[in-house]
Amino acid sequence: MLIQAGFSADAALVANISTGVFSVVGGIIALYNMDRLNRRTTFVIGLSLTTTCHLLIGVLSIVLPEGNPIRPYALLFLVVAFVFSMQTFLNIAVWVWLAEVFPLHMRGLGIGISVFFGWFTNGMLALFFPSLVDGIGITGAFFMFAVIGLCALVFVITQVPETRGITLEKLEEDVTSGRAYTFSKNPFARA
């Protein structure tokens, strides 16, 4: 993507280091905040930021045409912001939430299925991303990602139960009985 944005192959390789650095920093912040922020709040913040980054990448790829000297750096900034947001608010939180939300009798199977589909989707995206960008361009690809992010945000706000601060036994009882899904639609409310 960085080459498509306007970097040379060597510059794109060097620029890619910045995403790795911010990925590590975001992971450290996520570990620090894991027991300080509600899971749903973390998901809403993360999905809002990543969706905004996708939307802005799409907009900037229109506003800054190929050949504009600012384009590669603006898109790199947004890619780094996306990676940082993803690592800080979504990556670790999703793994923790998965370990909490499934009842014990099906936790292994539930996590296994979730991990399979997560990695399968990740693999398909990595495999077909160059073809996607060739087919519909950076603009179309990132507008599509923004729509998917918006759908995920609506899903989190309306369907995802809060798990922070609730014992696994209580969560299992609430998930099994359905009480876990009768919650405030406000993702910033305490559980």
- What is the tens place of the pLDDT at every residue in 72-82? 888 889 989 99
Residue 181 DSSP label: G
CATH class entry, domain 2-181 = mainly alpha
Cα angle, residue 52 at apex, residues 47 and 53 outer, rounded to 5°: 100
pLDDT digits (tens, 9 = 90+) for 4-19: 666 666 666 667 788 8
Q: In this model, does residue 124 exceed pLDDT 80?
A: yes
For residues 167, 170, 171, 177, the Cα torsion angle rounded to the nearest 10 degrees is 180
Residue with tokens 């898109």: 75
Closest CA to 90 of 120, 61, 131, 49: 49
Q: In this model, does residue 25 exceed pLDDT 60?
A: yes
Confidence of residue 69 (pLDDT cuts 50, 70, 90): confident
Q: In this model, does residue 156 exceed pLDDT 90?
A: yes
Angstrom distance (rounded) from CA 191 to CA 102: 17
